[in-house]
């Protein structure tokens, strides 16, 4: 459980010893261009319609923001995010990893984009002290089932646990379990075809793959809730990390809201961590539980690529949800704004932070959430 010093700017709340603080964020995509700036790297060939060499993405980023001091060390990409992680000291550090970690060459046929990084670069995930990551997304099998196997083996050797993909359906559905004083945190990871996950990637009893939801229906939500309740113990806190929806735009499809509400109504989930969008979306507070519909991209090689500038995909957020350790109810979410520059996260300028605060507040208000800009330049939903 988290212990923090009192902040005189914040009114007294629950005893910090009775809360759990988490770190979650948007998609972590350390393959393709980012992989190419490390000392070890996979072969740069790509199968995209416009880009055939991963080093092109390095050139685009450098043209936009200046030279990248390659080869960089594994901590480089996290930049100022490492200072925030050390300041907050979250009880669990969880990300959605949208990159295969493999040297296998079996690119999934017919797929437009393939992400991978060299297994020697798994240290870029360890550098942030990640406890676990989700793999139920549309890049986990970019380099085939052999690539998924190597990804799992590499992460596990590095001490990073996984959920959402496995050698069979049971493994893909198994949650990450984080033991803490007084209880546990369980993280389940699953994906939806609405995010671009091929249906053939679904794990089965005798085939590796991801935990792919058949749809976002009431029946599927109830089935997932039943699985979660079967795995829970008293005082367990449960997170569902779900890859769903399109990349751009702020509107939340009714099917997503109904699915999220059902998980909460059936007393299965305390926090829903949604991702796939390339920019942060509104946050809903429903029955005292937070629903993050889209957390935006966190680590990417998209710098210098034009299109959709109005959504400011260059901005990233670190989300630190604080939950009551007993009831699981949301206490608050603190958010640290950053921006991408030269494949590295740095503090966002004050004007960008104000813009992001206004947008998130405007998108969250209809959902029951209020986001405000704090004096220290961070955002808070409470």
Cα-based torsion angle of the residue sequence 162, 165, 171, 173 in order, rounded to the nearest 10 degrees: 90
pLDDT of residue 180: 87
| Per-residue pLDDT band at 318 (split at 50, 70, 90) | very high
State the average pLDDT over residues 235-245.
97
Taking the C-alpha atoms of residue 80 and residue 78, their distance in angstroms, rounded to an integer, is 6
CA 173 and chain centroid, separation:
17
Which is it for strands 161-163 and 132-134: parallel, antiparallel or unpaired? Answer: parallel
pLDDT of residue 181: 78
> Does the pLDDT of residue 127 top 60, yes or no?
yes
Q: In this structure, what DSSP letter does residue 167 have?
A: S
Q: What is the pLDDT of residues 195-221, one digit of tens each?
A: 999 999 999 999 999 999 999 999 999
Taking the C-alpha atoms of residue 233 and residue 112, their distance in angstroms, rounded to an integer, is 42
Pair of tokens at residue 296: 């935006």
Q: Is 94 exposed, middle or buried (0-12, 13-18, 19+ CB in 10 A)?
A: buried
State the average pLDDT over residues 104-127.
97
What CATH code is assigned to 16-381? 3.60.21.10
Please state, rounded to an integer, the average pLDDT across all residues of the chain: 95
Q: How do the domains of the chain map onto residue ranges?
A: 16-381
> Does the pLDDT of residue 272 top 70, yes or no?
yes
Q: What angle do CA 377, 379, 382 make, to 5 degrees?
A: 140
Backbone angles phi and psi of 81, in degrees to 5: -65, -30
The DSSP bridge partners found for residue 336 are: 318
* 143 within 8 A of 104, measured Cβ to Cβ: yes
Taking the C-alpha atoms of residue 119 and residue 106, their distance in angstroms, rounded to an integer, is 16
> Does the pLDDT of residue 117 top 90, yes or no?
yes
Q: In this structure, what DSSP letter does residue 342 have?
A: T
State the average pLDDT over residues 342-348.
98
pLDDT of residue 291: 98
Q: What is the pLDDT of residues 9-32, one digit of tens each?
A: 233 444 556 999 999 999 999 999
Strands (E) located in 141-252: 161-163, 165-166, 176-180, 183-191, 209-210, 237-243
The three-state secondary structure class of 86 is: helix
> Does the pLDDT of residue 243 top 50, yes or no?
yes
> Does the pLDDT of residue 376 top 90, yes or no?
yes
- For 209, left (φ over 0), alpha (ψ -120 to 50), or beta? left
* 143 within 8 A of 47, measured Cβ to Cβ: no
Cα dihedral across residues 367, 369, 372, 377: positive or negative: negative
State the average pLDDT over residues 42-55.
97
Provide the whole-model pTM: 0.95
> Does the pLDDT of residue 252 top 60, yes or no?
yes
Cα dihedral across residues 251, 213, 261, 94: positive or negative: negative
| Per-residue pLDDT band at 382 (split at 50, 70, 90) | confident
pLDDT of residue 17: 65
* 274 within 8 A of 286, measured Cβ to Cβ: no
């Amino acid at each position: 459980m988290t212990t923090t010093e009192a902040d005189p700017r914040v009114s007294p709340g629950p005893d910090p010893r009775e809360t759990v603080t988490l770190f979650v964020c948007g998609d972590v995509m350390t393959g393709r261009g980012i992989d190419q700036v490390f000392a070890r790297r996979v072969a740069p060939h790509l199968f995209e319609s416009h880009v055939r060499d991963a080093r092109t993405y390095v050139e685009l980023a450098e043209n936009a923001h200046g030279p990248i001091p390659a080869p960089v060390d594994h901590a480089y990409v996290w930049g100022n995010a490492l200072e925030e992680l050390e300041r907050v000291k979250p009880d669990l550090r969880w990300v959605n990893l949208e990159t295969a970690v493999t040297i296998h060459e079996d690119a999934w046929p017919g797929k437009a984009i393939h992400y991978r990084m060299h297994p020697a670069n798994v240290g870029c995930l360890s550098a942030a002290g990640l406890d676990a990551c989700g793999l139920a997304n549309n890049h986990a099998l970019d380099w085939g089932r052999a690539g998924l196997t190597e990804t799992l083996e590499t992460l596990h050797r590095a001490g990073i646990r996984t959920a959402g993909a496995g050698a069979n359906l049971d493994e893909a559905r198994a949650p990450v379990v984080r033991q803490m004083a007084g209880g546990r945190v369980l993280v389940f990871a699953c994906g939806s075809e609405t995010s671009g996950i091929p249906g053939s990637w679904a794990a089965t009893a005798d085939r590796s793959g991801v935990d792919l939801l058949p749809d976002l229906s009431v029946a599927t939500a109830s089935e997932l809730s039943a699985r979660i309740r079967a795995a829970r113990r008293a005082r367990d806190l449960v997170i569902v990390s779900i890859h769903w929806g399109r990349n751009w735009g702020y509107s939340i499809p009714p099917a997503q809201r109904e699915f999220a509400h059902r998980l909460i109504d059936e007393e299965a989930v305390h926090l829903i961590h949604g991702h796939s969008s390339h920019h942060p979306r509104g946050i809903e507070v429903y029955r005292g539980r937070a629903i993050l519909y889209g957390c935006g991209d966190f680590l990417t090689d998209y710098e210098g690529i034009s299109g959709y500038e109005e959504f400011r995909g260059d901005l990233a957020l670190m989300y630190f949800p604080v939950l009551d350790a007993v009831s699981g109810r949301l206490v608050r979410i603190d958010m640290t704004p950053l921006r991408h520059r030269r494949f590295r996260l740095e503090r966002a300028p004050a004007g960008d932070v104000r813009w992001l605060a206004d947008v998130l507040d405007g998108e969250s208000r209809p959902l029951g959430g209020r986001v405000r800009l704090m004096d220290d330049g961070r955002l808070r939903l409470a």
